[in-house]
Amino acid sequence: MVAEAAAAERVVAELREACAAPPARLNDVAAAMEAEMRAGLREEGGSKIKMIISYVDNLPTGNEEGFFYALDLGGTNFRVLRVQLAGKEKRVAKRESKEVSIPPHLMSGNASELFGFIASALAKVIAEEGRNDVFQDKQRELGFTFSFPVRQTSIASGTLIKWTKAFSIDDAVGEDVVAELQMAMEKHGVDMRVSALINDTVGTLAAGRYNDEDVVIGVILGTGSNAAYVEEASAIPKFEGELPKSGNMVINTEWGNFYSSCLPITEYDQALDEESLNPGEQIFEKLISGMYLGEIVRRVLLKIASQSTLFGKVNHTKLKTRFILRTPDISAMHHDETPDLRVVAEKLADNLKIKDTSLETRKMVVEICDIVTSRSARLAAAGIVGILRKIGRAVPGDERRSVIAIDGGLFEHYPEFRQCLESTLVELLGEEASRSLVVKLTKDGSGLGAALIAAAHSQYQH
């Protein structure tokens, strides 16, 4: 048994070394992130990260008033929100939300059917309002969160590059998704103007800014990962046309596709990437986001099982099933505080059919979860530091308060991840500079954030 344990310990030791993210390495990652950001702002296609100009040049201030709508389309359901904003005092006075399932045949049909279905749902929401005198002489305004790759051409127009997830509607590719929606709404008698097309990361930034004027970065750390931030419009060489009056521009970095030779990449990450639907792409996301953490841990456990009998006689079928371990499973094992690590035993038995493990073996599994999650949190922190340095925030001598709005289940529901992220920011920025830094959980950027951006870009703004 001693030899068995030694083989397993060797695998864990190698993993720890390969995942190591000491401050010096993380500073290199932050510097590489900043360099890629600058390259992406210089010219289209100049960088691994797209640095998409969002055309959002005004973020909500908290003074917005009136009714605004949001449409959040990003998966098999979409949501319609109606929000009543009541200025500085009352803020969000009322908020109603309706979720609608998209029939599967519409996800691979044609564009007019899908957008027609969405428009009819909007019509129903408006009908349920009853008489609303606010709109006697005003058009309703909508923020549209569309979580698919889009080439944006203005605040309220963008052409679909390609569908992802379960969608494949060929005649929509290359078309302006706002024009498609606008046309469908007219057909269904819906008098509504799409005043902003955004993605959920930009929405997170807006939802954060609405409640705190010092928010400068919005980050998603959930199934996927991305970041958006406020840039000076004059610092975007690729921006064509007149600079916005506000002098600012929100940039959607698409940092999930970031890659640098200084990233700590293991054999497990390489294998995961090669077997993925998009090999060679989204490398940063594959190291840090919730979709992949459980899968990395599974691959490590599989290697241990193939090199030792530490897990006893295991039927490898479950252990070889990709994505059978999910991040909530990892989180539950990582946070197991029972004296005999009962939660770990249950997760191993239920998910992987690994039964009768010793306490030592269960401790080793917790350690693997810790190594993989710490690397993820530390790299996410390095990415944030890269953005802060690019905009001259939270650096020595900068007294301004800098707030980072973060959404996503990985940050919200995984305390070890969150604590590690926050302590790494302090470690990289130093005690003094990090005093002015605040990290805030900011929820529902894709819904509330979209309505707030619609309000900030309303045609009735004085």
- Residues marked as catalytic: 79, 147, 200
Distance separating alpha carbons of residues 187 and 182, to the nearest angstrom: 9
Polymer length of the chain: 462
Distance separating alpha carbons of residues 29 and 367, to the nearest angstrom: 24
The separation between CA 134 and the C-alpha centre of its own chain, rounded to angstroms, equals 35
Instruction: Classify the C-alpha dihedral 217-218-221-224 as positive or negative.
Output: negative
Q: Tell me the β-bridge partners of 220.
A: 226, 407
DSSP assignment string, 372-412: HHHHHHHHHHHHHHHHHHHTT-SSTT--S-EEEEEESHHHH
Distance separating alpha carbons of residues 177 and 274, to the nearest angstrom: 32
Distance separating alpha carbons of residues 227 and 271, to the nearest angstrom: 26
Closest CA to 12 of 233, 228, 432, 301: 301
